[in-house]
Structure 1
Amino acid sequence: MSPSPPPTDPEEPGSRLALALAVTIRHDGHGGVADDLRTPDGLTAWVTEHAGALRHALDAREFIADGAALSAVRALREAVRALFARAVRPGPPSRADAHRLLPEPEAVARLNAAAALVPAAPALHWPPGAAAPTAGAAWPPGPPAADRLTAALAHDAIAFLAGPDRARLRACQGPRCVRYFMKDHPRQEWCKPSCGNRARVARHHRRHRAES
Protein backbone atom coordinates (compact mmCIF):
# COMPACT_ATOMS: atom_id res chain seq x y z
CA MET A 1 0.00 0.00 0.00
CA SER A 2 1.37 3.39 -0.92
CA PRO A 3 1.85 5.88 1.92
CA SER A 4 -0.76 8.54 2.45
CA PRO A 5 0.20 12.00 1.23
CA PRO A 6 1.13 14.54 3.88
CA PRO A 7 -1.71 16.76 5.05
CA THR A 8 -2.05 19.94 3.04
CA ASP A 9 -1.49 23.35 4.50
CA PRO A 10 -4.95 24.95 4.92
CA GLU A 11 -3.64 27.95 3.02
CA GLU A 12 -2.40 25.89 0.06
CA PRO A 13 -4.22 24.81 -3.12
CA GLY A 14 -5.62 21.31 -2.72
CA SER A 15 -6.92 22.13 0.76
CA ARG A 16 -10.43 20.85 0.04
CA LEU A 17 -11.65 23.88 -1.85
CA ALA A 18 -14.02 21.57 -3.70
CA LEU A 19 -15.59 20.53 -0.40
CA ALA A 20 -15.77 24.16 0.74
CA LEU A 21 -17.57 25.00 -2.51
CA ALA A 22 -20.02 22.12 -2.12
CA VAL A 23 -20.99 23.10 1.42
CA THR A 24 -21.98 26.61 0.43
CA ILE A 25 -25.34 24.80 0.25
CA ARG A 26 -26.14 24.05 3.88
CA HIS A 27 -28.86 23.76 6.50
CA ASP A 28 -30.23 27.19 7.38
CA GLY A 29 -30.89 26.39 11.04
CA HIS A 30 -34.67 26.55 10.59
CA GLY A 31 -35.46 23.35 8.73
CA GLY A 32 -34.61 24.65 5.27
CA VAL A 33 -31.59 24.96 2.98
CA ALA A 34 -29.41 28.06 2.70
CA ASP A 35 -27.19 29.04 -0.22
CA ASP A 36 -24.15 31.17 0.55
CA LEU A 37 -23.72 31.93 -3.17
CA ARG A 38 -27.09 33.45 -3.92
CA THR A 39 -25.66 36.83 -4.91
CA PRO A 40 -22.42 38.25 -6.34
CA ASP A 41 -21.71 39.74 -2.91
CA GLY A 42 -21.98 36.27 -1.41
CA LEU A 43 -19.41 34.94 -3.88
CA THR A 44 -17.09 37.89 -3.22
CA ALA A 45 -17.26 37.18 0.52
CA TRP A 46 -16.61 33.46 -0.05
CA VAL A 47 -13.57 34.16 -2.21
CA THR A 48 -12.23 36.53 0.45
CA GLU A 49 -12.71 33.83 3.08
CA HIS A 50 -10.68 31.38 0.99
CA ALA A 51 -8.09 33.87 -0.20
CA GLY A 52 -5.16 31.81 1.08
CA ALA A 53 -6.09 28.66 -0.81
CA LEU A 54 -6.81 30.68 -3.96
CA ARG A 55 -3.82 33.00 -3.81
CA HIS A 56 -1.89 31.31 -6.61
CA ALA A 57 -4.84 31.78 -8.98
CA LEU A 58 -5.99 35.30 -8.12
CA ASP A 59 -5.71 38.13 -5.62
CA ALA A 60 -8.90 37.90 -3.57
CA ARG A 61 -8.41 41.46 -2.32
CA GLU A 62 -9.06 42.72 -5.84
CA PHE A 63 -11.81 40.27 -6.77
CA ILE A 64 -15.37 41.57 -6.99
CA ALA A 65 -17.87 39.06 -8.34
CA ASP A 66 -20.43 39.97 -10.95
CA GLY A 67 -23.40 38.04 -12.28
CA ALA A 68 -21.36 36.15 -14.87
CA ALA A 69 -18.80 34.99 -12.29
CA LEU A 70 -21.59 33.92 -9.95
CA SER A 71 -23.31 31.92 -12.70
CA ALA A 72 -20.05 30.18 -13.64
CA VAL A 73 -19.22 29.19 -10.06
CA ARG A 74 -22.76 28.04 -9.34
CA ALA A 75 -22.75 25.92 -12.49
CA LEU A 76 -19.47 24.37 -11.42
CA ARG A 77 -20.83 23.74 -7.93
CA GLU A 78 -23.78 21.89 -9.45
CA ALA A 79 -21.35 19.60 -11.28
CA VAL A 80 -19.21 19.08 -8.18
CA ARG A 81 -22.21 18.16 -6.04
CA ALA A 82 -23.45 15.69 -8.66
CA LEU A 83 -20.05 14.00 -8.66
CA PHE A 84 -19.90 14.07 -4.87
CA ALA A 85 -23.22 12.21 -4.88
CA ARG A 86 -21.60 9.57 -7.06
CA ALA A 87 -18.48 9.46 -4.87
CA VAL A 88 -20.39 8.65 -1.66
CA ARG A 89 -22.15 5.58 -3.08
CA PRO A 90 -23.47 3.24 -1.81
CA GLY A 91 -24.26 5.83 0.83
CA PRO A 92 -27.02 8.36 0.14
CA PRO A 93 -26.22 11.80 -1.30
CA SER A 94 -26.97 15.11 0.35
CA ARG A 95 -30.69 15.60 0.75
CA ALA A 96 -30.39 19.17 -0.54
CA ASP A 97 -30.38 18.18 -4.20
CA ALA A 98 -30.70 14.38 -4.34
CA HIS A 99 -33.89 14.80 -6.38
CA ARG A 100 -32.36 17.03 -9.07
CA LEU A 101 -28.76 16.02 -9.61
CA LEU A 102 -27.04 16.89 -12.86
CA PRO A 103 -26.55 13.77 -15.04
CA GLU A 104 -23.06 12.41 -14.35
CA PRO A 105 -21.68 12.63 -17.93
CA GLU A 106 -22.82 16.27 -18.08
CA ALA A 107 -21.25 16.94 -14.68
CA VAL A 108 -17.91 15.48 -15.80
CA ALA A 109 -17.98 17.47 -19.04
CA ARG A 110 -18.84 20.69 -17.20
CA LEU A 111 -16.05 20.16 -14.67
CA ASN A 112 -13.47 19.50 -17.38
CA ALA A 113 -14.61 22.49 -19.40
CA ALA A 114 -14.25 24.75 -16.36
CA ALA A 115 -10.74 23.43 -15.70
CA ALA A 116 -9.79 24.15 -19.31
CA LEU A 117 -10.75 27.84 -19.05
CA VAL A 118 -7.22 28.66 -17.90
CA PRO A 119 -4.29 26.33 -18.60
CA ALA A 120 -2.12 26.12 -15.50
CA ALA A 121 1.33 24.55 -15.36
CA PRO A 122 2.30 22.19 -12.52
CA ALA A 123 4.31 24.05 -9.89
CA LEU A 124 6.13 23.19 -6.70
CA HIS A 125 5.40 25.38 -3.68
CA TRP A 126 7.93 25.19 -0.82
CA PRO A 127 7.78 28.31 1.34
CA PRO A 128 10.73 29.12 3.63
CA GLY A 129 10.37 27.26 6.90
CA ALA A 130 7.92 24.68 5.55
CA ALA A 131 8.87 21.08 6.33
CA ALA A 132 7.69 19.71 3.00
CA PRO A 133 6.70 21.10 -0.39
CA THR A 134 3.26 20.93 -1.93
CA ALA A 135 2.23 20.47 -5.53
CA GLY A 136 0.19 23.23 -7.04
CA ALA A 137 -0.15 25.17 -10.23
CA ALA A 138 1.29 28.29 -11.81
CA TRP A 139 -1.55 30.49 -13.06
CA PRO A 140 -1.02 32.91 -15.94
CA PRO A 141 -1.95 36.51 -15.11
CA GLY A 142 -3.71 37.33 -18.38
CA PRO A 143 -7.15 35.62 -18.17
CA PRO A 144 -9.99 37.36 -16.32
CA ALA A 145 -10.12 36.79 -12.57
CA ALA A 146 -13.51 35.06 -12.87
CA ASP A 147 -12.05 32.50 -15.28
CA ARG A 148 -9.04 31.94 -13.03
CA LEU A 149 -11.36 31.44 -10.06
CA THR A 150 -13.60 28.95 -11.87
CA ALA A 151 -10.65 27.06 -13.30
CA ALA A 152 -8.88 26.91 -9.93
CA LEU A 153 -11.97 25.49 -8.27
CA ALA A 154 -12.36 22.95 -11.07
CA HIS A 155 -8.71 21.90 -10.84
CA ASP A 156 -9.10 21.36 -7.11
CA ALA A 157 -12.28 19.32 -7.62
CA ILE A 158 -10.56 17.10 -10.17
CA ALA A 159 -7.62 16.51 -7.83
CA PHE A 160 -9.98 15.75 -4.96
CA LEU A 161 -12.23 13.37 -6.89
CA ALA A 162 -9.27 11.52 -8.42
CA GLY A 163 -7.33 11.37 -5.15
CA PRO A 164 -7.42 9.29 -1.97
CA ASP A 165 -9.57 11.74 -0.01
CA ARG A 166 -12.58 10.84 -2.16
CA ALA A 167 -12.96 7.54 -0.25
CA ARG A 168 -13.58 9.47 2.99
CA LEU A 169 -16.29 11.74 1.57
CA ARG A 170 -19.75 11.31 3.14
CA ALA A 171 -23.11 13.04 3.11
CA CYS A 172 -24.19 13.85 6.66
CA GLN A 173 -27.41 12.07 7.61
CA GLY A 174 -28.00 14.08 10.75
CA PRO A 175 -31.57 15.41 11.05
CA ARG A 176 -32.05 18.35 8.66
CA CYS A 177 -28.34 18.41 7.71
CA VAL A 178 -27.44 18.57 4.00
CA ARG A 179 -23.65 18.91 4.26
CA TYR A 180 -20.92 16.77 2.73
CA PHE A 181 -17.96 16.09 5.02
CA MET A 182 -14.73 14.14 5.31
CA LYS A 183 -14.85 11.09 7.57
CA ASP A 184 -11.74 11.62 9.69
CA HIS A 185 -12.02 8.58 11.96
CA PRO A 186 -13.71 5.16 11.60
CA ARG A 187 -16.60 5.79 13.99
CA GLN A 188 -17.52 9.22 12.64
CA GLU A 189 -21.10 9.28 11.37
CA TRP A 190 -21.91 12.99 11.19
CA CYS A 191 -20.26 16.18 9.99
CA LYS A 192 -20.14 17.70 13.47
CA PRO A 193 -21.13 16.81 17.05
CA SER A 194 -24.35 18.85 16.95
CA CYS A 195 -25.65 16.63 14.14
CA GLY A 196 -24.81 13.56 16.22
CA ASN A 197 -26.67 15.03 19.19
CA ARG A 198 -29.76 15.70 17.06
CA ALA A 199 -29.61 12.17 15.65
CA ARG A 200 -29.45 10.64 19.14
CA VAL A 201 -32.37 12.78 20.32
CA ALA A 202 -34.39 11.77 17.26
CA ARG A 203 -33.67 8.07 17.89
CA HIS A 204 -34.70 8.47 21.53
CA HIS A 205 -38.03 10.05 20.52
CA ARG A 206 -38.68 7.29 17.96
CA ARG A 207 -38.06 4.59 20.59
CA HIS A 208 -40.24 6.42 23.08
CA ARG A 209 -43.12 6.65 20.58
CA ALA A 210 -42.73 2.96 19.64
CA GLU A 211 -42.89 1.90 23.30
CA SER A 212 -45.86 4.10 24.22
Structure 2
Amino acid sequence: MAAAPQPLAPDPAADLALRLALTIRHDGQGGVADDLVDPDGLTRWVHAHAAALPAGELPFTADDAALAAVRDLRAAVRALFARAVPGEPSRADARHLMPVEEALRRLNAAAAAVPVVPHLTWPPGDGPAAGHRAAAAGAPAAAALTAALAHAAIAFLAGPDRTRLRACHAPRCVRYFLKDHPRQEWCSPSCGNRARVARHHDRHRPGAGT
Protein backbone atom coordinates (compact mmCIF):
# COMPACT_ATOMS: atom_id res chain seq x y z
CA MET A 1 0.00 0.00 0.00
CA ALA A 2 1.50 3.32 -1.06
CA ALA A 3 2.19 5.85 1.65
CA ALA A 4 -0.03 8.92 1.72
CA PRO A 5 1.62 11.96 0.13
CA GLN A 6 3.18 14.26 2.69
CA PRO A 7 2.28 17.98 2.61
CA LEU A 8 5.02 20.18 1.24
CA ALA A 9 6.13 22.83 3.70
CA PRO A 10 5.88 26.37 2.28
CA ASP A 11 8.84 28.67 2.66
CA PRO A 12 8.45 31.29 5.42
CA ALA A 13 7.43 34.03 2.96
CA ALA A 14 4.69 31.87 1.48
CA ASP A 15 3.46 30.90 4.92
CA LEU A 16 3.26 34.50 6.18
CA ALA A 17 1.59 35.76 3.00
CA LEU A 18 -0.95 32.94 3.11
CA ARG A 19 -1.69 33.52 6.77
CA LEU A 20 -2.44 37.17 6.06
CA ALA A 21 -4.81 36.22 3.23
CA LEU A 22 -6.49 33.63 5.45
CA THR A 23 -7.52 36.14 8.08
CA ILE A 24 -10.68 36.14 5.94
CA ARG A 25 -12.15 32.65 6.12
CA HIS A 26 -15.28 30.52 6.15
CA ASP A 27 -16.74 30.60 9.66
CA GLY A 28 -18.03 27.01 9.56
CA GLN A 29 -21.64 28.15 9.72
CA GLY A 30 -22.31 29.37 6.21
CA GLY A 31 -20.74 32.81 6.56
CA VAL A 32 -17.37 34.55 6.41
CA ALA A 33 -15.27 35.48 9.42
CA ASP A 34 -12.66 38.25 9.54
CA ASP A 35 -9.90 38.06 12.14
CA LEU A 36 -8.93 41.71 11.55
CA VAL A 37 -12.10 43.60 12.37
CA ASP A 38 -10.54 45.77 15.09
CA PRO A 39 -7.10 46.75 16.43
CA ASP A 40 -7.26 44.07 19.13
CA GLY A 41 -7.71 41.40 16.46
CA LEU A 42 -4.65 42.65 14.58
CA THR A 43 -2.61 42.77 17.79
CA ARG A 44 -3.51 39.15 18.55
CA TRP A 45 -2.70 38.08 14.99
CA VAL A 46 0.72 39.75 15.01
CA HIS A 47 1.65 38.19 18.34
CA ALA A 48 0.45 34.77 17.14
CA HIS A 49 2.78 35.06 14.12
CA ALA A 50 5.73 36.70 15.86
CA ALA A 51 8.12 33.91 14.85
CA ALA A 52 7.52 34.64 11.16
CA LEU A 53 8.07 38.39 11.46
CA PRO A 54 11.50 40.03 11.37
CA ALA A 55 13.11 40.89 14.68
CA GLY A 56 12.09 44.35 15.79
CA GLU A 57 8.38 44.09 14.84
CA LEU A 58 7.49 43.24 18.46
CA PRO A 59 6.26 44.27 20.96
CA PHE A 60 3.36 45.61 18.90
CA THR A 61 -0.02 47.07 19.77
CA ALA A 62 -2.24 47.94 16.83
CA ASP A 63 -4.19 51.16 16.45
CA ASP A 64 -6.76 52.21 13.87
CA ALA A 65 -4.09 53.39 11.41
CA ALA A 66 -2.20 50.08 11.60
CA LEU A 67 -5.43 48.15 11.15
CA ALA A 68 -6.40 50.17 8.07
CA ALA A 69 -2.93 49.74 6.55
CA VAL A 70 -2.87 45.97 7.04
CA ARG A 71 -6.42 45.54 5.77
CA ASP A 72 -5.56 47.57 2.65
CA LEU A 73 -2.50 45.38 2.11
CA ARG A 74 -4.55 42.23 2.63
CA ALA A 75 -7.03 43.35 -0.03
CA ALA A 76 -4.13 43.85 -2.45
CA VAL A 77 -2.63 40.46 -1.62
CA ARG A 78 -5.95 38.65 -2.11
CA ALA A 79 -6.45 40.39 -5.48
CA LEU A 80 -3.00 39.24 -6.60
CA PHE A 81 -3.62 35.74 -5.27
CA ALA A 82 -6.78 35.65 -7.39
CA ARG A 83 -4.70 36.56 -10.42
CA ALA A 84 -2.09 33.91 -9.59
CA VAL A 85 -4.40 30.89 -9.31
CA PRO A 86 -5.29 28.81 -12.38
CA GLY A 87 -8.88 29.29 -13.51
CA GLU A 88 -11.33 31.44 -11.59
CA PRO A 89 -10.84 32.85 -8.09
CA SER A 90 -13.18 31.99 -5.24
CA ARG A 91 -16.76 33.04 -6.04
CA ALA A 92 -16.91 34.81 -2.68
CA ASP A 93 -13.81 36.83 -3.62
CA ALA A 94 -14.76 37.65 -7.18
CA ARG A 95 -17.24 40.40 -6.22
CA HIS A 96 -14.77 42.26 -4.03
CA LEU A 97 -11.43 42.18 -5.83
CA MET A 98 -9.67 45.45 -6.59
CA PRO A 99 -8.07 45.93 -10.03
CA VAL A 100 -4.67 44.26 -10.39
CA GLU A 101 -2.86 47.53 -11.14
CA GLU A 102 -4.22 49.06 -7.93
CA ALA A 103 -3.24 45.94 -5.99
CA LEU A 104 0.32 46.13 -7.36
CA ARG A 105 0.54 49.82 -6.49
CA ARG A 106 -0.56 49.23 -2.89
CA LEU A 107 1.72 46.24 -2.41
CA ASN A 108 4.81 48.02 -3.77
CA ALA A 109 4.05 51.19 -1.81
CA ALA A 110 3.81 49.22 1.44
CA ALA A 111 7.07 47.40 0.69
CA ALA A 112 8.88 50.65 -0.10
CA ALA A 113 7.83 52.35 3.13
CA VAL A 114 10.59 50.57 5.06
CA PRO A 115 13.50 49.36 2.90
CA VAL A 116 15.29 46.24 4.13
CA VAL A 117 18.83 44.94 3.87
CA PRO A 118 20.23 41.38 4.08
CA HIS A 119 21.06 40.29 7.59
CA LEU A 120 23.10 37.25 8.66
CA THR A 121 22.68 35.43 11.97
CA TRP A 122 24.89 32.59 13.21
CA PRO A 123 23.92 31.25 16.64
CA PRO A 124 26.44 29.16 18.60
CA GLY A 125 26.11 25.51 17.72
CA ASP A 126 23.97 26.19 14.68
CA GLY A 127 24.49 27.09 11.05
CA PRO A 128 24.30 30.58 9.52
CA ALA A 129 20.91 31.86 8.38
CA ALA A 130 20.16 34.74 6.04
CA GLY A 131 17.27 37.10 6.68
CA HIS A 132 16.33 40.74 6.33
CA ARG A 133 15.90 43.67 8.66
CA ALA A 134 15.00 47.34 8.29
CA ALA A 135 17.72 49.39 6.63
CA ALA A 136 17.32 52.11 9.26
CA ALA A 137 15.95 51.95 12.78
CA GLY A 138 13.05 54.01 14.01
CA ALA A 139 10.35 53.26 11.42
CA PRO A 140 6.78 53.58 12.78
CA ALA A 141 5.46 50.24 13.97
CA ALA A 142 2.54 50.17 11.51
CA ALA A 143 4.82 50.93 8.55
CA ALA A 144 7.35 48.32 9.67
CA LEU A 145 4.64 45.68 10.00
CA THR A 146 2.98 46.34 6.65
CA ALA A 147 6.38 46.51 4.95
CA ALA A 148 7.36 43.13 6.39
CA LEU A 149 4.06 41.63 5.22
CA ALA A 150 4.45 43.20 1.78
CA HIS A 151 8.00 41.87 1.43
CA ALA A 152 6.71 38.38 2.31
CA ALA A 153 3.93 38.64 -0.28
CA ILE A 154 6.32 39.81 -2.98
CA ALA A 155 8.76 36.99 -2.21
CA PHE A 156 5.93 34.48 -2.43
CA LEU A 157 4.33 35.82 -5.62
CA ALA A 158 7.72 35.95 -7.38
CA GLY A 159 8.83 32.56 -6.02
CA PRO A 160 8.28 28.91 -6.94
CA ASP A 161 5.48 28.23 -4.46
CA ARG A 162 3.17 30.55 -6.42
CA THR A 163 2.54 27.73 -8.92
CA ARG A 164 1.03 25.65 -6.09
CA LEU A 165 -1.44 28.36 -5.05
CA ARG A 166 -5.10 27.45 -5.49
CA ALA A 167 -8.47 28.97 -4.57
CA CYS A 168 -10.83 26.66 -2.73
CA HIS A 169 -14.09 26.40 -4.66
CA ALA A 170 -16.10 24.64 -1.99
CA PRO A 171 -19.42 26.41 -1.28
CA ARG A 172 -18.92 29.69 0.61
CA CYS A 173 -15.17 29.14 1.09
CA VAL A 174 -12.84 32.09 0.58
CA ARG A 175 -9.58 30.35 1.44
CA TYR A 176 -6.43 29.99 -0.65
CA PHE A 177 -4.11 27.03 -0.17
CA LEU A 178 -0.92 25.48 -1.51
CA LYS A 179 -1.63 22.31 -3.49
CA ASP A 180 0.31 19.41 -1.95
CA HIS A 181 -0.53 16.65 -4.43
CA PRO A 182 -2.09 16.38 -7.91
CA ARG A 183 -5.57 15.33 -6.78
CA GLN A 184 -6.03 17.98 -4.10
CA GLU A 185 -9.01 20.20 -4.95
CA TRP A 186 -9.97 21.86 -1.67
CA CYS A 187 -8.28 23.56 1.23
CA SER A 188 -9.48 21.03 3.84
CA PRO A 189 -11.39 17.75 4.20
CA SER A 190 -14.44 19.63 5.51
CA CYS A 191 -14.53 21.76 2.36
CA GLY A 192 -14.19 18.62 0.26
CA ASN A 193 -17.17 17.12 2.06
CA ARG A 194 -19.28 20.26 1.50
CA ALA A 195 -18.33 20.33 -2.19
CA ARG A 196 -19.27 16.67 -2.68
CA VAL A 197 -22.61 17.18 -0.92
CA ALA A 198 -23.31 20.24 -3.09
CA ARG A 199 -22.47 18.28 -6.25
CA HIS A 200 -24.76 15.45 -5.16
CA HIS A 201 -27.62 17.89 -4.56
CA ASP A 202 -27.04 19.54 -7.94
CA ARG A 203 -27.16 16.17 -9.73
CA HIS A 204 -30.38 15.12 -7.99
CA ARG A 205 -32.36 18.35 -7.91
CA PRO A 206 -35.56 18.39 -9.98
CA GLY A 207 -34.80 19.10 -13.63
CA ALA A 208 -31.08 18.35 -13.38
CA GLY A 209 -29.66 16.81 -16.52
CA THR A 210 -32.72 17.58 -18.63
Instruction: Sort the TM-score into its range (normalised by shorter chain).
Output: 0.7 to 0.9
Question: Conserved in 1, the CA contact under 8 Å of 2:85 and 2:166?
Answer: yes
Q: What is the rounded CA distance, in whole Å, between the counterparts of 1:149 and 1:39 in structure 2?
A: 16
1:162 paired residue number: 158
1:24 and 1:37 in contact (8 A); partners too: yes
User: Which secondary structure state, in structure 2, belongs to the residue aligned with residue 73 of structure 1?
Assistant: helix
Alpha-carbon separation, structure 1, partners of 2:75 and 2:187: 21
Aligned identity (percent) is 70
By how many angstroms is 1:201 displaced?
1.9
CA distance in 1, matches of 2:110, 2:34: 21
RMSD: 2.1
- 1:123 deviation in Å? 2.3
Higher RCO (Cα < 8 Å, 6 or more apart): 2
- Cα pair distance change 1:7/1:197, threshold 3 Å: closer
**What secondary structure does 1:65 align onto?**
coil
Which whole-Å CA distance do the structure 2 matches of 1:134 and 1:102 have between them? 37
CA distance in 1, matches of 2:121, 2:180: 26
CA offset at residue 15 of structure 1? Answer: 4.9
SS of equivalent residue, structure 1 residue 42: helix
- Aligned residue type for 1:86: R
C-alpha spacing 1:170/1:143, structure 2 compared with 1 (3 Å): same
Q: Distance in 2 between matches of 1:102 and 1:57?
A: 31
Q: Is residue 36 from structure 1 mapped to residue 35 from structure 2 by the alignment?
A: yes
User: Any stretches of 5+ residues in structure 1 without a counterpart?
Assistant: 1-5
Corresponding residue for residue 193 of structure 2: 197
| TM-score, scaled to structure 1 | 0.85
Shift of 1:54: 0.9
Distance change (3 Å), C-alpha of 1:50 and 1:28:
same
Question: Is 1:51 aligned to residue 50 of structure 2?
Answer: yes
TM-score (norm 2): 0.86
Secondary structure in structure 1 of the residue aligned to 2:138: coil
Can you give the 5+ residue segments of structure 2 that lack an aligned partner in the other structure?
A: 1-7
